[in-house]
């Protein structure tokens, strides 16, 4: 082998051992979940005319948010003791999410809402396969990780993926009747730690995990959001379906995947029914929304 080729091969071997363990991600909409308790006792003291004005004002704002072309909002009637209402907002940036919060806080309806919790994140797609392919190609070319040339190549890869995945990064808020939301982490314990597993093995497990979800493609819409550095958990999961039973079946089946059985940690689950802006009055009069 000529000396130059031998040196290149040796350098590629050296660089390959330095492949970063972090998978690439692409991000879309900024997302805010707001869980609220409704002050029914105070609401019951209002006259019908007062309630009508409050509902008209809030319903008008919610209607605009439902039709917002650059990120929509939805209202859900929660089931159980964890809250009464959940607002889900998709927006282009955290600035816009903050504006949504301020708009809602100015509503007279906010006098009857008590926040129980919230969740801040961004729609995220993990690129395990593309990451490994890109990292290996760059290593074979002898390009050092995190060098300027490496950064330019990674930037090009991300831009291509963002364009190809745009519909998944900036989706319409699904109009299915039911929503299940929960946050989750990957285990970081002394015995099992997801973040010390080689990237190739993580890619294999995530691929098997994704195969289960794809079997439910016609029954449920799944949106994954990343929240590392934004909230208390690492990811948020939104599942949308017209039959809530699919939530149980899908999540139960996924628990048998290695990635979930060994490494998954789950937070609080919230399940609610979609309530359109036109049904806000019915909901606040004690009627179940039609969706």
pLDDT of residue 93: 98
pLDDT of residue 15: 45
Catalytic residue among 112, 128, 135, 182: 182
Q: Are 57 and 108 in contact (CB under 8 A)?
A: yes
Q: What percent of the chain has pLDDT over 70?
A: 93
For CA atoms 265, 271, 275, 277, the dihedral sign is negative
Q: Are 225 and 30 in contact (CB under 8 A)?
A: no
5: left (phi over 0), alpha (psi -120 to 50) or beta: alpha
pLDDT of residue 9: 47
Cα–Cα dist 31/97, whole Å: 7
Q: pLDDT (tens digit, 9 = 90+) per residue, 3-61?
A: 444 544 454 444 444 678 999 999 999 999 999 999 999 999 999 999 999 999 999 99
286: left (phi over 0), alpha (psi -120 to 50) or beta: left
pLDDT of residue 226: 98
Catalytic site residue 182?
yes
Cα–Cα dist 158/180, whole Å: 30
Task: State if pTM tops 0.95.
Answer: no
In this prediction, the residues of the chain whose per-residue pLDDT falls under 50 are 1, 3-5, 7-9, 11-17
pLDDT of residue 217: 79
- Cβ atoms within 10 A of the Cβ of 149, count? 11
Intra-chain end-to-end CA distance of the chain, in Å: 70
């Amino acid at each position: 082998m000529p000396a130059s080729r031998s040196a290149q091969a040796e350098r590629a071997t050296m660089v390959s051992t330095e492949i970063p363990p972090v998978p690439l991600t692409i991000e879309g909409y900024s997302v805010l979940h707001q869980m609220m308790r409704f002050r029914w006792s105070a609401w019951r003291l209002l006259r019908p005319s007062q309630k009508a004005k409050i509902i008209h004002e809030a319903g008008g704002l919610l209607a605009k948010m439902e039709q917002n072309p650059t990120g929509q909002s939805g209202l859900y009637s929660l089931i159980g003791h964890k809250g009464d209402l959940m607002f889900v907002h998709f927006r282009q940036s955290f600035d816009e999410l903050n504006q949504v919060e301020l708009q809602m806080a100015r509503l007279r309806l906010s006098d009857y809402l008590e926040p129980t919790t919230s969740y801040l994140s961004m729609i995220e797609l993990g690129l395990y396969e593309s990451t490994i392919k890109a990292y290996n190609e760059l290593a074979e070319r002898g390009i050092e990780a995190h060098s300027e040339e490496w950064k330019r190549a990674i930037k090009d890869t991300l831009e291509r993926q963002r364009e190809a995945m745009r519909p998944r990064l900036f989706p319409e808020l699904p109009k299915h009747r039911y929503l299940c939301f929960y946050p989750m982490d990957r285990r970081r314990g002394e015995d099992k730690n997801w973040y010390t597993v080689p990237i190739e093995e993580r890619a294999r497990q995530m691929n098997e995990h994704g195969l289960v979800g794809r079997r439910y493609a016609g029954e449920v819409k799944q949106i994954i959001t990343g929240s590392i550095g934004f909230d208390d958990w690492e990811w948020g999961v939104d599942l949308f379906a017209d039959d809530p039973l699919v939530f149980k079946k899908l999540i139960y089946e996924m628990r048998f995947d290695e990635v979930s059985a060994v490494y998954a940690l789950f937070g609080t689950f919230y399940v609610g029914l979609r309530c359109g802006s036109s049904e806000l009055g019915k909901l606040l009069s004690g009627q179940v929304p039609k969706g």
